[in-house]
Amino acid sequence: MTEPMDKTADALVVFGITGDLGRRMTMPALYRLERMGALPCDVIGVARQELTTDELRTMARESVERAEASVDEDAFERFAKRLSYIASDATDPSSGERLAEALGPAQKPVFYLATPPSLFAPIVEMLGSVGLTERARVVIEKPFGHDLASARALNDRLLQVVDEDRIYRIDHFLGKEPVQDIVYLRFANEIFEPIWNRNHVKAVQITLAESFGIEGRGSFYDGVGALRDVVQNHLLHVLALVTMEAPAGSRDAIADRRLDVLRAIPRADPTEYVRGQYEGYASEDGVRPGSDTETFAALRLRIEDWRWSGVPFLIRAGKMMATTMTEVHVLFRRPPPILLGDHTEQARHHNHVSIRIGKDAGASIGVLVKDASGEAAEPVHLDVSFQEHLARSPSPYERLLGDALSGDATLFPNQAVVEEMWRIVQPLLDDPPPIETYTPGSWGPPPADRLAEPFGGWRPAASEETRTEPT
């Protein structure tokens, strides 16, 4: 069958629309798309909960009110009119028949699976059994498998029904504007490219710290842990964007260059991996007695290519940390001590570029300037907040769902990327080191410090720095 030139969806089906993800993220994102005039089609919700369409609309209203400071009544009315609901077990073959009837003449539906991972393959197989996947796109949430073998098994089942270019795997981190800004910061600014390599970069650190714990998600988190939850996906995506070669040609080239970098990363070494668990985790609701699930993970990786060979990449992520921050910190080598000598306090300081990915999105550049005495150099940080200078940016789900509906797969990892990320961390899952406990409000277990000691130690939180606003 000939592929239509216009990829815009003519129907959106959300499986699991009444769940936590549907209420917290999906419905507010779809409302915002409608408000901007960017929601191109009607929305059919599918879940087991017995609801009427009017009750779903009421739920949507409550979700939007929780997420928005104020509600645009005209926009919400338009959004509500688009909503309909089917109460059904999504894996029941009769669900497919009811769904086919509800879709009517739609030729390019998007099926969004906001469901537990165990339902991904059964739902797609059900859709295929009633002929609904020929021109459809299927959007699935992370996690994509529990390890490399299960990721491959899931992909194999999906590919029996849907072609790879019609599978859109959501990682909401890639929908964050500051994550996308990494590409622009690198390749739209000539000043960085000449020094963005092993000749000038001493080390790269990527930190995702959260000052809160598992927040009642014990039964989910205890079977996942920090490595699977954020390192294997979010932070490896960030690492790839920071280190990939310049994309050329089409937008698809970004995905190709990310894959090139991931393929150049050797499998992680368990001797360069530290697992931590915050004190009190074992008493959280839903956590198994004696659980050794990590709430903190720190590791060191390498990239064996011409640009980065020999540069250490230090990654850490944890809960109940000293602060909440997500940051990329690129540490540069010191210049030769011709002018200032090598026995001064400032000799321990390096130039750096830090990119903040959290709510305080922005960047800082660390430089050395002459101090008041005129006889030494002093480090200062030139800082800019993206939010202060740029217009409102879409939320991650707003961006990703909009892209899925328009047929833009740029921000969605493909099968090869997912499997490469699992390949990198699989040795850490197969041979994990013992758990180290750490105090809530700290920067993790002390053994994690040894990973970064040869490279100047972990960078402190941005809030602990002195910043200088550029004029």
Q: Please give the Cα distance from 211 to 122 (Å, whole number).
A: 37
Cα dihedral sign, 316-322-326-330: negative
Cβ proximity of 441 and 285 under 8 Å: no
Count other Cβ atoms within 10 Å, centred on residue 385: 14
Count other Cβ atoms within 10 Å, centred on residue 461: 16
User: What is the DSSP-derived secondary structure letter of residue 283?
Assistant: G
User: What is the DSSP-derived secondary structure letter of residue 105?
Assistant: T
Residue 221: which residues within 8 A CB-CB, separation 6 or more? 214, 229, 286, 287, 293, 295
Residue 443: which residues within 8 A CB-CB, separation 6 or more? 209, 321, 322, 458
Cβ proximity of 202 and 332 under 8 Å: yes
Cβ proximity of 467 and 352 under 8 Å: no
Of the listed 146, 172, 200, 234, which one is catalytic? 234
From the CA atom positions of the chain, what is the Rg in Å?
24
In 3D space, the residue among 341, 321, 374, 363 whose CA is nearest the CA of residue 465 turns out to be: 363
Q: Please give the Cα distance from 94 to 11 (Å, whole number).
A: 20
Q: Please give the Cα distance from 37 to 71 (Å, whole number).
A: 15
Q: Please give the Cα distance from 460 to 10 (Å, whole number).
A: 49
Cβ proximity of 438 and 445 under 8 Å: yes
Catalytic, 234? Answer yes
Residues labelled as active-site residues: 234
